[in-house]
Structure 1
Amino acid sequence: MGSRAAGRQVRPPLRRLTAGLGRGGTMDTSTGKTGTQEPRPQTRPAAPPSRPVILGLLLGIVLATLDGTVVGTALPTIVGDLGGLDHLSWVLTAYLLTTAVSTPIWGKLGDLYGHKGSYLTSITVFLAGSVLCGLAQDMGQLIAFRALQGIGAGGLFVGALSLIGTLLTPAEAGRAQSLIGVLLPAALIGGPLAGGFLTDQLDWRWVFYVNVPVGAVALALVGLGVRLRAPRVRARIDLAGAGLLTGAILALTLLASWAGTTYPWSSPRILGLALVAALALAAFVRVERRAPEPVIPPRLFHDRNFTVAQVISFVTGAAMLAAASYLPQYMQFVRDMSATESGLLLLPLMLGMMGAQLVIGRRVGDGGRYRGYPVVGGALAAAGALALLTLGTDTSAPVASGLTLVLGVGIGCLMQPTMLITMNSAEPRDMGAASGTQTLLRTIGGSLGVAVLGSVYTHRLAATVTDRLGADGTRLTEAELTPELLRELPAPVRHAFRTGVVDGLHGVALGTAALCAVAFAVSWLIREVPLRTR
């Protein structure tokens, strides 16, 4: 760390997002030996990337994020058209599985054979999957094509981040990354709204077809606007590492999807998945230490800042997704709101995240320090999560909505610096692997966070309702109760169930606060290493 930081200088304040690009010549193209031939770092372009190029990269991130949420509101219509209700969940699960599995592999392929080519290929695969999903004639075809779409989506996010890390130095990339921080929550909110609108006004198939013009624009902007020399390598793909990582991710994703809902945590299936994941991860670590070109290079974790940033990304992903998943339950069951209204009432949470990331990106881009933001963010996020304990059955909707603002600001202060630290800690040859690792850990953290805190929510809800209603409460919690059905029940039953929802949300809030406290504690280990200007 010390030798790397010694020659760095802090860049003068940025006046524009792309100011000063291309003034430092090319990147260091020295090579090293790893058993075959070390890939040469991707050469910096001679001209600065234009704003349309940045837009093309951001569009890929929008596509990947939006398509993970846009399908949800269209699912009832899809089932009515195609049938296959018993396979409904796999329309979402297949996409999430293949996205998670392919993310680190796309990142490594970009490091070996060129980030631009990898990014354009992933968009092409994603668009092909989108068209095929729109043409699907039965649920089996839709699930298979969603899996193909997910494979392409895995390369969109990591490809965009890798290209930003190649085209811009860490000191220059702050503002571009802050825009990513704005797009993520916007896509999370806008996905269900866009899905409902397209389904109602056109047809559910347009939920997939709409990706084609957006993806075509991204292909044109990046394909014509980015000039990078692809490295020429003779490297063997780490097939063993890719296979073991795929197995571990599959097991963890299925565990997160099924545990506490489809199967109890103590069931043989869930315990078996946990064992498979643990064994696959242990074997993966051993293989990566010996592979000439590992999927996730162990050398990345020799940098303390990189390791700390990945821990923060994991717990932040868990805290963010858990809060965003279970707060709507309170809005719909306790405050008797529609799904759209409950989503809109989460705007303070999302606006807090977006505002914090924009401010941090601008301040760091103007030469400011970044170490203090994760520390403050962890404290704010923990305090914001604990503030949710004040929610009750009689809390007004505006107050309940406003309480999420502090949590959102705290999470934003955690997310933005971790992206900067990840890029600053990785050498150019490992930019794709570093971006893929962070994206993967945030995704897995979110999945496991929703699963574990979801079990806490369900347990506390069931315990409270059963305590108040006895055997009738047990039957009530085991039924598939919707907000519409709850309105038809007697007043005492409604009150008991709403009290249970509040108790369940309090359990989620305590778990979220604990995760944020971990992020706060770990953030103190970050070193203020100046951002690279070359």
Structure 2
Amino acid sequence: MSDIVEGRWAEIFGPRYIAVTTILALGVTLFAFNAFLSSAALPSAVHELGGLEIISWATTLYLVFAIVGGAAAALLKRRLGSRGSLIGLATVFLAGTLIAAFAGDMNQVLVGRSIQGFGEGVVAALCFALIPELFPSRLVPKVFGMQAIVWAVAAFGGPAGAGALTELISWRAAFFINVPFVLIFVTMVLLVVPRGEKPTDKHGFPGLRLLAIGAGTMLVALAAVAEPLQAVLLLVAAAILLTAAVWLDRRSVERLMPPDAFSLRTAVGSGLWVFLLMPVAGAASAVYLIMLLQQLWGYGPTQAAITAAVMSVAWSLSSILAANARQRSTRRILIRSGPLSLAAGLILVLIGLEWTQLPILLIGQVLTGLGFGMSNGYIMLTIMEASSDGERDRTSALLPTTQSAGNALGAALAGVAANAAGYAHATESGHILASIVPLFIMAAAFAMLAFVAALRMVQLAKATPLATFAQE
């Protein structure tokens, strides 16, 4: 059937769902805010504590442990239940926050950030897993639209808020601000999320698989700052470790992922490839555009950041508009169009930089944001609907982890492409412009690979029975 029952925005903020919506928004807010925290608060921490040489690890370790935590989220949910997992890992996140806030040196900050990352990685993944459990299918696009708004606000407000707290009070206040949000989150979970039943069968701890995922992610992070040849070797080693983790997981009694994760023979596996490849493509602009605008056009940090933020605005607005699509055929068109819009946007950003044409660059930024905004929600919804009821938790929890992995991999590959083309040593505008051509061409190629995977996902999803979501 092509027509579906349309959900209304008022419903997710109405009496029946407002508490659950608040929990999901807080969970995403904590993750998004802390992902952007380091750029504003940690330089002041280094000024007080020293350790400039390890400041980048505050972000790297947070993301690595967030990915590991996200991978373990479905397992923790099965063993502890949604309520116990959310409360327990929010407490872990709070412990990491306090360790970082009271740190006496940068090493302690790194420990706190690692613990923060693991706790929030689990919480963010569980928030995704709760969406099909607590919302009917017709409201899921609206929930994803709400989350896109949260991310956009965090992208603007995260660095600004952390910077204001650092300037007016202390860098430690940027960590302490998490405390009331965590307490509100835990209180809401206690009031809203049912206890549920805890399964009694346990098959050991998947330490080897989590170690492979963590080590593979760490190698990707190291590749982002290595010389081109070393970076390629690190990425190859990371691919081997991550592939081994998926291979081992498929043969385990208690799996971390759905059995068809990243298999091109199913809608779920193909969809996960789309969800991985689009962030890989988008990283080129996300990592380099602000710097390029300052190098090539003489923009100040604020003007460059505002120009780059056009993409986030387009992402949020288009996700809100796309959430109103009523027909499955329209949703399939949006899924296929997203990677194409992303590829076109990246090429136009490159042309705008090469020709020194701000209007072309802005159009490219808008198309890039549209690519993510029009398709992300329906990619996730299609993956969830194509997953069986028994695998829904694993599949849903894997979504934010896959996206974070795509961001990390994209940043590393962007660094390899740019440095191999001589960007790191380029000083003149002509040399800089020549060095970024391979970077954006590679990014557009990954967007086209995402388009191929999207075609496959849509084709397979048509023949896949839909999973049962929350009842009306």
State TM-score, norm by structure 1: 0.80
Q: Does 1:13 align with 2:6?
A: yes
Matched residue type, 1:110: K
- Which residue of structure 1 aligns with residue 165 of structure 2? 198
Amino acid at match of 2:286: A
| Distance in structure 1 (CA, Å) of the matches to 2:21 and 2:46 | 38
Amino acid corresponding to residue 231 of structure 1 in structure 2: E
Amino acid at match of 1:236: K
Separation in 1, partners of 2:250, 2:454: 27
Matches within 5 A, 1:32-51: 49-51=16-18
Offset, 1:353: 1.1
Q: Do 1:251 and 1:273's aligned partners in 2 also have CA atoms closer than 8 Å?
A: no
> 1:381 Cα shift?
1.4
Change (3 A) 1:215 1:504: farther
Q: C-alpha root-mean-square deviation of aligned residues, in Å?
A: 2.8
Structure 2, unaligned runs of 5 or more:
none
> 1:304: Cα distance to partner?
1.6
- After superposition, the C-alpha distances for 1:257-285 in whole angstroms (9 at most, x for unaligned) are 22263x32433x97367436515632x34
Is 1:516 aligned to residue 447 of structure 2?
yes
Q: Note the C-alpha offset of 1:207.
A: 1.2
Q: How far apart, in 1, do the equivalents of 2:467 and 2:247 lie?
A: 32
Structure 2 residue 210 is the aligned partner of structure 1 residue 246: yes
Q: Distance in 2 between matches of 1:260 and 1:233?
A: 41
Cα distance in structure 1, aligned partners of 2:9 and 2:375: 24
2:266 aligned to which of 304, 311, 316: 304
1:136/1:266 CA distance change after superposition, 3 Å: same
**Structure-2 residue corresponding to 1:128:** 95
Paired residues for 1:417-456 under 5 Å = 417-456=378-417
Partner Cα distance (1:455, 1:119) in 2:
37
2:331 is paired with a residue whose SS is: coil
The whole-number CA distance in structure 1 between the counterparts of 2:364 and 2:242 is 41
Q: Deviations over 1:497-531 (max 9, x none)?
A: 23333333333221221111112222222134667
Return the offset for 1:248: 2.6
The CA distance in 2 between the partners of 1:414 and 1:442, in whole Å, is 14
Decide whether aligned partners of structure 1 residues 243 and 457 sit closer, same or farther in structure 2, where only a CA change above 3 A counts.
same
Q: Is 1:264 equivalent to 2:195 in the alignment?
A: no
Q: 1:189 to 1:497 in 2, by over 3 A?
A: farther
Counterparts in 2 of 1:68-467, with a 5 A limit?
Answer: 68-226=35-193, 228-239=194-205, 242-259=206-223, 261=225, 263-267=226-230, 271=233, 274-275=236-237, 278-279=240-241, 281-282=243-244, 284-298=245-259, 304-364=266-326, 369-392=330-353, 395=356, 397=358, 399-462=360-423
- 1-structure distance, mates of 2:348, 2:117: 37
Give the number of the structure whose residues are more often helix, by fraction.
2
Partner in structure 1 of residue 428 of structure 2: 497
Question: 1:354 offset after TM fit, Å?
Answer: 1.1
**Residue 11 of structure 1: CA displacement?**
5.2
| Distance change in 2, residues 1:260/1:370 (3 Å) | closer
Aligned counterparts of 1:522 and 1:272: Cα–Cα separation in 2: 26
- Pairing 1:473-492 to 2, within 5 Å after superposition: 477-478=424-425
Cα distance in structure 1, aligned partners of 2:202 and 2:437: 50
CA distance in 2 between partners of 1:192 and 1:402 (Å): 25
Tell me the equivalent position of 1:63: 30
Runs of 4+ in 1 over 6 A off after TM superposition: none
Change (3 A) 1:398 1:70: farther
Tell me how far apart the structure 1 counterparts of residues 45 and 232 of structure 2 sit (CA, whole Å).
29
* Aligned-residue offset at 1:440: 2.0
Cα distance in 1 for partners of 2:33, 2:303 equals 19
**Alpha-carbon distance between aligned partners in 2 of 1:276 and 1:15, rounded to the nearest angstrom:** 43
How far did residue 210 of structure 1 move? 0.8
Contact 1:56 1:222 in 2 (8 A): yes
Q: Cα deviation per residue 1:46-71 (whole Å; 9 max; x = unaligned)?
A: xx843133112111111111101112
Contact kept? 1:331, 1:397, Cα under 8 Å: no
Q: Using the TM superposition, give the Cα deviation of residue 16 of structure 1 relative to its aligned residue in structure 2, in angstroms.
A: 4.8
- Look up the equivalent residue of 2:421 and give its one-letter code: R
The counterpart of 2:438, out of the listed 465, 482, 507, is: 507
1:149: Cα distance to partner?
0.8
1:511 corresponds to which letter in structure 2?
Answer: M
Mapped partners of 2:10, 2:329: distance in 1: 15
Change over 3 Å in CA distance of 1:504–1:397 after alignment to 2: same
Aligned to 1:26: none
Whether the 8 Å contact between 1:252 and 1:274 is mirrored in structure 2 is: no
Following superposition, the deviation at residue 404 of structure 1 comes to 0.8
Deviations 1:327-377 (A, max 9, x none): 11112211222323322112221122112211222225x877421111111
Structure-2 residue corresponding to 1:28: none
Q: In 2, are the aligned partners of 1:381 and 1:410 still within 8 Å (CA)? A: yes
User: 49-58 vs 74-83, which deviates more?
Assistant: 49-58
* Structure 1: runs of 5+ lacking an equivalent: 1-7, 22-47, 463-476, 479-492
Give me the TM-score of the superposition, normalised by structure 2: 0.89
- Offset at 1:135? 0.7
Q: Are the structure 2 counterparts of residues 394 and 13 from structure 1 closer, same or farther at C-alpha, using a change threshold of 3 Å?
A: closer
2: CA distance, partners of 1:194 / 1:402: 29
1:314 shift after superposition: 0.5
Count how many residue pairs are aligned between Structure 1 and Structure 2: 464
Do the aligned residues in 2 keep the contact of 1:382 with 1:516 (CA within 8 Å)?
A: yes
CA–CA distance in structure 2, aligned partners of residues 138 and 199 of structure 1 = 17
C-alpha displacement at 1:192, in angstroms? 2.1
**Given residue 13 of structure 1, which amino acid in structure 2 is its aligned partner?**
E
| Amino acid paired to 1:445 | G
Q: Do 2:224 and 2:416's aligned partners in 1 also have CA atoms closer than 8 Å?
A: yes
Residues 185-228 of structure 1 deviation map (CA, whole Å, 9 limit, x = unaligned): 332333222222221122101110111112222222232123x2
**Whole-angstrom CA distance in 2 between matches of 1:111 and 1:177:** 24
Query: 2:299 is paired with a residue of what secondary structure?
Result: coil
Counterpart CA distance in 1 for 2:338 and 2:351 is 21
